[in-house]
Structure 1
Amino acid sequence: MAATPMVCRSGRTRVLAIAFSLAALAAQQAQAGLFDDEEARRQVKDLAVKTNERLDTFAKGQIELANQIQALREENSRLRGQVETLTYELESARKRQQDFYVDLDGRLRKLEPQAAANVEARPAEESKPVVEAPRKVVSDPAAETREYEAALNLFKANKLKEAAAAFESFAKAHPESTLTPSAQYWLGNAHYALHDCKKAIDAQRVVANKWPAHAKAPDALLNVATCQQELADAKGAKSTLEALLAKYPESAAATTARQRLKK
């Protein structure tokens, strides 16, 4: 009977031991859970910091890119303005050059003999009947001048295609006119302004070959050389310039030819 209390005491001891073990295990799990929460919070905080840093870097990059785009827009606007200015200046210079040549042409024409001034005197014996030969169609210098100046005004107004057609029509309609060499010359200039160097060369060569004594013949040869240079025919251009110097050594075109041959 005395053994019974010992058995009960031993059982209670085991129960208490188990209870303490369970409590310790629970405490350890609670402490581990606490540590896990802190680690998670730390990682979240670190992630937030890194995310903010990345956002700041991205924002700075966006601002820098926007500034670069704005700078490029401003540069593009500036360059567009320069191009427009240069285009206007080029057009103005070309217009001034055309006006100069037209004015020069007018002055030269005043020095050229006009057909009306060279009308021969009638025979002294008007009363004597003479068998008349078939009459040639008499040209009208005043009408020719108006037609020529109309074509020249088209060129001056930069209506190049119309001017080329008008000069060509004039040359065909009035092959014997004193204005035809000039019309042929301006026909070549119109083709050159239209960037058709081959037609320009053909027209200017007609002036130099058909009317070699005309005031525009040296300039016509110079224009031929210019077109040959633009067509990359350096040998042909040199030959034309040398021919110009040989035929018209005292002309203004010869001075330009010498300068070109020195280059």
Structure 2
Amino acid sequence: MKLPKMTSMKRLAVLTALALSLPAHSAIFADSEAREGVQQLQTLTKQQQDRITQLETASRRMVDLTNQIEALKQEIATLRGQVEVLQYNADAAEKRQKDLYVDLDGRVRTIEEAKVAQAKAQQMAVEQSLDGAVALAKNGKHKEAAAGLRKFIGDHPASPLLPEAQYWLGTSLTSLKDFKGAEAAYNEVVVKAPDDPLAPDALFGLAVVANAKGDKKGARAILLNLIEKYPNSEKAEAAKKALLATN
């Protein structure tokens, strides 16, 4: 079957229509690509803006962190300064305390030494007082010796030298024939200070007083007691000789 041939006018109309339709299709394609390009650009722009925002946020955080670090450094420096001040004050206080202790120790030592020196001086004075009275007794000045010894006993009732004073008082009173006073003085030694080195001498003195009073039996009993109680003393030997003399 053969197609009918177009007339010249129809052919021209078809060609014209085809020619006119080509730019319209091209414009449609171009507009679609442009829109896609705009969307891509908008997406990229948004992505870049988001990155910029993130970077700005990170930068601000970094600045804040840097500021915090600087603030902490300042606080640490301040604390170090305070620690140094406190350490200085502590060292100064410790030095003052040591100095005070040394000064106090020196003062206490001085006071103690002064007390010891004073006690020694007092003891020396006491001993000199007794020595003076004893010297009078040894020199036969029994009246003066008895007075000095009685004063010593009254002034120093707790002295460790009291037995010695009582013994010499007994000796002086025996010489003065004050036998009652002599017995009392000797008994102070024998009864209250039996372990004193002069206790055997005091016991022998009691035997002398008993013999002077005519109490031979009593004197003998005292001498036997002396030998039994103080067998190794010098007065024990004297007592033995005295007993032999009375036989």
Taking structure 2 as the reference length, the TM-score comes to 0.49
Whichever structure has more helix as a proportion of its residues is 2
Q: Higher RCO, 1 or 2 (CA under 8 Å, sep at least 6)?
A: 1
CA radius of gyration, larger in: 2
Taking structure 1 as the reference length, the TM-score comes to 0.46
